[in-house]
Amino acid sequence: MFKKSLAGMVLVTALGVPAVAQAATGSAATVSKVELAWDSARVKVTWSESAAVANTITVTRAGQPAKVLGTTTATGANLLSVDPAAIGVSSDPASAAVITVTDSAGGEAKSAAFDTYFRTPAFTETWMNSRELLWSVPGDSAKDGTPNDPLDMPGPIHITPIMKFAGCTVKSQPSTTELRGTIPNQGRPFNLTLQAANEWGRDNYYRKQVRTSAVTLSAPASTRFGAAAVLSGKVAVRHIVESGSTCVEADDPDRARIQVSLQGRNSATSPWYLVSPGNTDAQGNYKVTLTTPGAREYRVWVNENSLAGTTQYASVSASRTVRATTALMSAKFITPTITYGAKPQAYIWVNPAGTQQAALQFLNASGTWQGVTTKVLSSGKGLVTFPWNRRGVASFRWWVGGSTHNGLQVDPIYTGPFGLTVN
């Protein structure tokens, strides 16, 4: 229980414990010097005899009858190996046990008092942090009722996290004497058991359902700057259902009101930031409608959570990039029909309202677009006047270069053709 140095495991007489009491019942006892020690995972009881004699070995506690642990013959060794379970465990640190060796003549000798204390920790906390499950158990402040007894072991209780997956396959983390630890995301759901153990007992005392989630994301490849972009997807939560000897991975039927976070970033090397929170409907579907601010990479994050009896790892969707194209508001001639010799005026208006480069083109007789003039826009608008001495109908278009708006790229566009008639 309360663990001391290994040097405190061996001789009773070396521990400062009161001398072994030898009870004589009409004749001198032939047994003496009862010693206790751990031998692997069993308790080794040894004693001395003044003459070969058969013995009975018992364990007693205050207020309880003696319990026989075993017997030896007169020709046998002065040793008994005892399973700790036969001695018994106590949740009271002040409860002391004594092992007595009694010979056939009635003489007896007793061991030093020792405790068999093991108590399951009263509670455990689990929560999520940085995509890891954290567990914590409280320390034990109980006072050792038999300090430095020969069966005290070094170290506190050992905690072993045990994970049970679909098919009832089991994976254990290494045992630890730390009172807290972490379990990385396993990529699949499991039921968690924390097993507490010391030399006297063990107990699978804490169980929690650990769920995983999966989230999809659909998004358009590109939209006009300032236009509505709909990003949508679905969240599924998985858990393990144990029934007898079967362990099945199943969908959580309650898919409503799962919180999701739409995140974005401006480039492949920039940090993610929150764009919009959201919630799922009864089928686990979510939808977020945005006004396109420029090209941006998106992903959806499902937060971790810890509820009564369950805890859930965070999950993240694959990322999707939604590009933005310059939005055309107007492309035209101020006067689409003019007389020969007049100078036409071509107008362009786009969003975002920046200082983009723009070029006016016309479709020549060979069917190729040919440059006419260029313009640097002001607040997304531009007007050019140019000579045009060709009678008939001609087709024109604008090219507007790409731009950056609030750190986000907006792609260039060509407008559709618009006509000029010269009479």
Tell me the two tokens of residue 172: 């254990």
Beta-carbon contacts of residue 345 (< 8 Å; ≥ 6 apart):
333, 334, 335, 383, 384, 385
pLDDT of residue 15: 30
Q: What is the average per-residue pLDDT within 129-145?
A: 81
Looking at 2.40.50, 2.60.40, 3.90.70, 3.40.1350, the CATH number of the domain 125-210 comes to 2.60.40
Q: Which CATH class is domain 19-111?
A: mainly beta
- Assess whether pLDDT exceeds 90 at residue 198: no
**Confidence category of residue 6, pLDDT binned at 50, 70, 90:** very low
pLDDT of 253 strictly over 80: yes
Token look-up 């024109």 returns 396
Q: Looking at the predicted structure, is the pLDDT value of residue 9 above 70?
A: no
Q: What pLDDT score does 24 carry? A: 37
Q: Phi/psi at 276 (nearest 5 deg)?
A: -160, 135
- Please report where in the chains the tokens 């790892």 appear, as a residue: 313
Candidate from 205-209, 301-305, 367-371, 419-423 with smallest mean pLDDT:
205-209
- Report if pTM > 0.85: no
pLDDT at 42 over 50: yes
pLDDT per position as a tens digit, 86-100: 999 888 888 899 999
| pLDDT level of residue 122 (50, 70, 90 thresholds) | low
| DSSP code at position 176 | B
Sketch the domain layout of the chain as residue ranges: 19-111, 125-210, 213-324, 326-422
| Burial of residue 264, with CB atoms counted within 10 A of its CB: 0-12 exposed, 13-18 middle, 19 or more buried | buried
Q: Which pLDDT score, from 0 to 100, does residue 124 have?
A: 72
pLDDT tens digit string along 325-348? Answer: 999 999 999 999 999 999 999 999
CB neighbour burial string for 148-173, b if at least 16 within 10 angstroms, e if fewer? bbbbbbeebbbbbbbbbbbeeeeeee
Q: What local confidence, expressed as pLDDT, does residue 367 receive?
A: 96
Whether domain 213-324 has CATH 3.40.470.10: no
Instruction: Give the whole-number percent of the chain exceeding pLDDT 90.
Output: 70
Region 222-230: mean pLDDT is 98
How far apart are alpha carbons 196 and 162 in whole angstroms?
11
**Per-residue confidence at 217, pLDDT binned at 50, 70, 90?**
very high
Distance CA 374, CA 383 (A): 10
CATH code that applies to domain 326-422: 2.60.40.730
68 has pLDDT over 50: yes
Is it the case that residue 187 has pLDDT exceeding 60? Answer: yes
pLDDT band at residue 19 using 50, 70 and 90 as cut-offs: very low
308-317 pLDDT, tens digit each: 678 889 899 9
Greater confidence (356 vs 89) lies with 356
List, for residues 361-389, the tens digit of each pLDDT value.
999 999 999 999 999 999 999 999 999 99
